[in-house]
Structure 1
Amino acid sequence: MEAAALKLNRTLLLAVVLISLISGVLSGDIVVHDDKSPTRPGCDNDFVLVNVPTWIDDKEEDEYVGVGARFGPTLKSKEMDAHKTRVALADPTDCCTTPKNKLTGEIILVQRGKCSFTTKANVAEAAGASAILIINNSTELFKMVCEDDEHDIDIGIPVVMLPQDAGESLRGSLQKTLNVSVQLYSPSRPPVDVAEVLLWLMAVGTILCASYWSAWTARESAIDQDKLLKDASDEYLNTEPSYSSGVVEITTTSALAFVVVASCFLVLLYKKMSYAFIEVLVVLFAIGGAEGLVTCLVTILSCFRSLEQAAKTFIKILFLGAVSYLALFVSPLCVVCAILWAAFRRHHFAWIGQDILGVTLIITVIQVIKVPNLKVGAVLLSCAFLYDIFWVFVSKWIFHKSVMIVVARGDKSGEDGIPMLLKIPRMFDPWGGYSIIGFGDIILPGLLVAFSLRYDWLSNKSLREGYFLWTMIAYGLGLFITYIALNLMDGHGQPALLYIVPFTLVTFITLGTKRGELSHLWTRGELDRICPHVQLQPCEE
């Protein structure tokens, strides 16, 4: 492959830093924990999402999502079984005392605050309401539980919390004396959605392709280097073998710097998150994705004999240097694809373009950025492991919110989240949303997996005797366990590297120790496996 295609420009290097910011597999769940008391009889419901379609003057309008309380009866799971019921505005609005307006089976809309959730429910039920909708004081939803001193709870009407924007919309319609009706039902969610399976296959397949591409490039470079060394002078024999000039090799220092730089940038995003900031990230992702798409297309097309000459013929372009005619031909198409994605990224089909650009960018990064030995790989993944845990879990104690999850969701930005994610819509989930995985969960362990395959190929190791097969299996298993944890944890964001890093790193180190090659893997890695004049044969130790 041409050297120009292997080089990452400054924009792509910046994109790599941004990509590594989001390292957790996150769900689209809008519910967060608000557990204040243990469960007890009458207050032991499972928390469920509630679908709330609305009608204004018998005309169907918006459909909102709420969350059911720990107490009260369970809701119907099918829309056909749920009755359309009129909504009445509570007076007083907090429903902590008996409402002044008379209720005859309406659903009462109340404001959160001034008294407990169970008090509101008891007052509403005594006043004749058939259900109670509580407007939260923020755009998030909190799980409504019973107070510690509340016992013998017996509430006979459903209790549902709505986010602030949905509740205020209904309140505004009621204040205009419009006829507002809603349905309340809670469709069951499938235990596993096909989107999670497809996303797992996409992540594993991306690392697989990137690893083989990286190993093939390393082997071709080694063969070319060996041919040159055979005909070179003794002085040239003393030079160290090298790969393409487009390769960026990670060091221990740069691996450690990752935590500091990424953490600073994450805090900056958390503090300064805005629509404009997201737009900047969109532009950077589009540029990096276009470059990744060009690199991958040129590599694939250059395999055809009819296009081989175009891939090897270069032209000098200002600011870009030497660019092949083939790259010059496919670049406009790739740029148009990136622009179309950026323009239509809010449409329901935009995830396809985002995934195409994302996968090609990830493959290009793993191809160009290399881990030279196991020591660097261990330091990089260990730092990422601690980084993930800190910003997903520990940051809640400092910032009162999970910094990484807030940034991933794009809170306060007016967007659905930052674009550095692979995403697939949940196909059989009645609540919709996306299954997503951060680029960092693929790139960072992918660098170690790619190193293992390069080492195997350059050492002439078979698939079973090498390290790649077992490291690849370990990554797939770690990601699989992540999704299990995600479902067991009620859909709350999970740092994927918490599970992936121990699986991959421990597997690699354990195999190296058992085979007596850990010292070599740890310090010298793949480059030292090639001896002058002996193509692809391991050096004698």
Structure 2
Amino acid sequence: MGPTGLLGLLLLLHWPQIYASKGILRSVVIGDPATAKDYCVTYNSTWTTLPPTYTNASFYRLLNLSSVWLCSPSDVPSAGFQDMAVVVMDGNCSMMDKAILAQKNNAKMLLLATKEGLPAPQDSKSSLLTIQIAYVKYGDVLNMAQVVGKDIAVGMYSPSLTQFDFSLMVIFLISVFTVALGGYWSGLSEMEDLRPSPSEDECEGRKKKDENVTFTPFTVILFVVICCVMLLLLYFFYKWLVYVIICVFCLASAMSLFNCLSALIRNIPYGRCRVSCFNKSAEVRLLFLAAFCIAVSVTWAVFRNEDRWIWILQDILGIAFCLNFIKTLRMPNFKACVILLGLLLLYDVFFVFITPFITKEW
């Protein structure tokens, strides 16, 4: 190891330790625990010990003072903070100054609202302070007032981390299942396209061949360029384009879910009655299936911010979208594969590791 490496190691060993931990802030309407909603916070584990579950957490009535800094006694209301959790803006003075002033006025919890992510508490804490201190996003404070309500109580807890996260295993199995099934379906579709038609009655089923998309080197480059442009537009016009992305996802996922389920339904030899309209005919069961897929997609769009169960629909729609994409996408030669994978590598490196240095943090 050279002198530069030794110097770097010494700096790392003597760097001040920051005992930053992530916790959860649960907000509930007073008298109605069913309205609970959780938000992320950061706190110093050497200052504050949080219970592992919200059932053991202490809840305090929330006083939203995010319009003040709490740096002087004039920022304190005349009634004080008797057994309350207080939200104030971060900055203009040290965290400890705010905490001392809040504790002197009988506050039980101090939440520092920040617009620049969730920093790690780094100040030197006084041994006389017993108040709970944490950082919370300013956007979450606004959301708390709009979604949960005005008269609310909050409590903090920090779930204990298990040595093995079973959710990672579920994610791994879902991803492997999706890629394997999509590849198998794509192979069957390719074999079906290459097989000669034994009769003219099967011509309708062979029309599915036109739905496949072949990626030439030019279309590969065009695809990556469109992805880059879309990400840049999302950065500058997120407030408006996010709804366009939601609409596109709903439309694409509904079509993908229909294609996946219709491939199964067509193998069932029952319920093939058809209806005709404007010189076109369709099976009744496929019409009901289309209505079902649209309903699932619309349900996700309406309840997409629901925390408890909407993730199930989102996973189902996402799996269907990936399956249909793998089945539909065709790579004609090795050259197109190399170009696609190489450009996607540059795309990931730039937008994941380089853009944080040239763009501000949300």
TM-score by length of 2: 0.71
Map residues 454-469 of structure 1 onto 2, 5 A cutoff: none
2:229 equivalent in structure 1: 264
Show the counterpart of 1:372. Answer: 332
DSSP 3-state at the match of 1:53 = strand
1:144 corresponds to: 120
CA contact (8 A) 2:178 2:319 kept: yes
More strand by share: 2
Partner SS, residue 159 of structure 2 = coil
Instruction: Please name the residue that 2:201 is paired with.
Output: none
1:114 corresponds in structure 2 to 92
Partner of 2:214: 249
Is the aligned partner of 1:95 residue 2:55? no
Query: Which of 188, 194, 208 is the equivalent residue of 1:222?
Result: 194
* Paired amino acid for 1:380: L
1:12 paired residue number = none
Aligned partners of 2:26 and 2:54 also within 8 Å: no
Counterpart amino acid of 2:251? I
Query: For residue 319 of structure 2, what is the amino acid of its counterpart?
Result: V
Provide the rounded CA distance (Å) in 1 between the counterparts of 2:335 and 2:290: 37
Aligned mates of 1:379, 1:244 — CA distance in 2: 25
Change (3 A) 1:249 1:317: farther
> 2: distance between equivalents of 1:87 and 1:373?
62
8 Å CA contact retained: 1:118, 1:146: no
Instruction: Give CA-to-partner distance per residue, 1:350-390, whole Å, 9 cap, x none.
Output: 44444333333322222222112233212212211221232
Alpha-carbon distance in structure 1 between the residues aligned to 2:326 and 2:277: 26
Secondary structure class of the residue paired with 1:47: strand
SS in 2 for 1:274: helix
Alignment-derived partner of residue 384 in structure 1: 344
Q: 1:193 to 1:399 in 2, by over 3 A?
A: same
Structure 1 counterpart of 2:294: 338
2:41 corresponds in structure 1 to 67
Kindly state the Cα deviation for residue 182 of structure 1 after the two structures are TM-superposed.
4.1
Deviation at 1:109, TM superposition (A): 4.1
Residue 112 of structure 2 contacts residue 135 of structure 2 at CA under 8 Å; is this kept in 1?
A: yes
Q: Does 1:162 align with 2:139?
A: no
Shift of 1:219: 2.7
Could you tell me which residue of structure 2 aligns to residue 232 of structure 1? none
| Paired AA for residue 156 in structure 1 | L
Q: Secondary structure at the match of 1:187?
A: coil
Task: Tell me the percent identity.
Answer: 21
The answer to whether the 8 Å contact 2:68/2:89 transfers is yes
Q: What CA distance in whole angstroms lies between the structure 2 residues aligned with 1:255 and 1:267?
A: 19
| Secondary structure class of the residue paired with 1:286 | helix
Aligned to 2:251: 287
> What letter corresponds to residue 297 of structure 1 in structure 2?
L
Q: Residue 422 of structure 1 corresponds to which residue in structure 2?
A: none
Deviations 1:108-165 (A, max 9, x none): 443322112233234444x264544234143x64123326xxx686463321223325
Q: 259-268 or 116-125, which moves further after superposition?
A: 116-125
**SS of residue paired to 2:196:** helix
The 1:96–1:144 alpha-carbon spacing in structure 2 relative to 1, beyond 3 Å, is farther
Is the 2:20–2:121 Cα contact (8 Å) retained in structure 1?
A: no
Q: Is the 8 A contact 1:85 1:107 kept in 2?
A: yes
CA distance in 1, matches of 2:128, 2:194: 74
Q: Secondary structure at the match of 1:67?
A: strand
Which residue is 1:536 aligned to?
A: none
CA distance in 1: counterparts of 2:167 and 2:105, whole angstroms: 43
Q: Is the contact made by 2:70 and 2:101 (CA closer than 8 Å) also made in structure 1? A: yes
Task: Report what 2:52 is aligned to.
Answer: 77
User: 2:222, 2:352 → 1: CA distance?
Assistant: 19
Question: Counterpart in 1 of 2:322?
Answer: 362
CA positional deviation for 1:268: 1.5
Separation in 1, partners of 2:346, 2:121: 33
* Structure 2 Cα separation of the partners of residues 169 and 305 of structure 1: 51
Q: Give, in angstroms, the shift of residue 399 of structure 1.
A: 1.9
Q: Residues 67 and 143 of structure 1 are in contact (CA less than 8 Å); yes or no, is this contact kept in structure 2? A: no
Q: Per the alignment, in what secondary structure is the counterpart of residue 20 of structure 2? A: coil
How big is each residue's C-alpha offset from its partner over 1:179-236, in whole Å with a ceiling of 9 and x where there is no partner?
A: x7543333334455544333322221121112112212323433439x9xxxxxxxxx
Is the 1:85–1:183 contact (alpha carbons within 8 Å) kept by the matching residues of 2? yes
Secondary structure of 2:340's aligned partner: helix
**How large is the RMSD of aligned CA atoms in angstroms?**
4.3
Aligned AA (1:396): P
The correspondence of residues 373-522 of structure 1 with structure 2, limited to 5 A, is: 373-401=333-361
Cα gap change, 1:153 to 1:371, in 2 (>3 Å):
farther
1:51–1:65 CA contact under 8 A, matched in 2: yes
Choose the corresponding residue for 1:46, options 15, 20, 34: 20
Asked if the contact 1:64/1:166 (under 8 Å) is kept, the reply is: no
Check whether the contact 1:252–1:379 (CA below 8 A) recurs between aligned residues.
yes
- Cα distance in 1 for residues equivalent to 2:256 and 2:174: 17
Write the distance in 2 (CA, Å) between the matches of 1:92 and 1:306.
Answer: 65
Q: What is the CA distance between 1:262 and its match in structure 2?
A: 0.8
Once the two structures are superposed, residues 439-462 of structure 1 have per-residue CA deviations (whole angstroms, 9 ceiling, x without a partner) of: xxxxxxxxxxxxxxxxxxxxxxxx
Between 96-105 and 379-388, the greater mean CA deviation after superposition? 96-105
Per-residue deviation, 1:249:
1.5
SS in 1 for 2:110: strand
SS of the equivalent of 2:39 reads strand
Out of 237, 256, 266, the residue aligned to residue 302 of structure 1 is 266
The aligned residue for residue 4 of structure 2 is: none
Deviations 1:232-259 (A, max 9, x none): xxxxxxxxxxx94443221222222222
Partner of 1:209: 181
Q: What's the counterpart of residue 196 of structure 1? A: 168
Judged with a 3 Å threshold, the aligned counterparts in structure 2 of structure 1 residues 49 and 200 are, in CA distance, closer, same or farther, namely: same
Distance in structure 1 (CA, Å) of the matches to 2:251 and 2:144: 42
Decide whether the 8 Å contact of 1:136 with 1:164 is kept in 2: yes
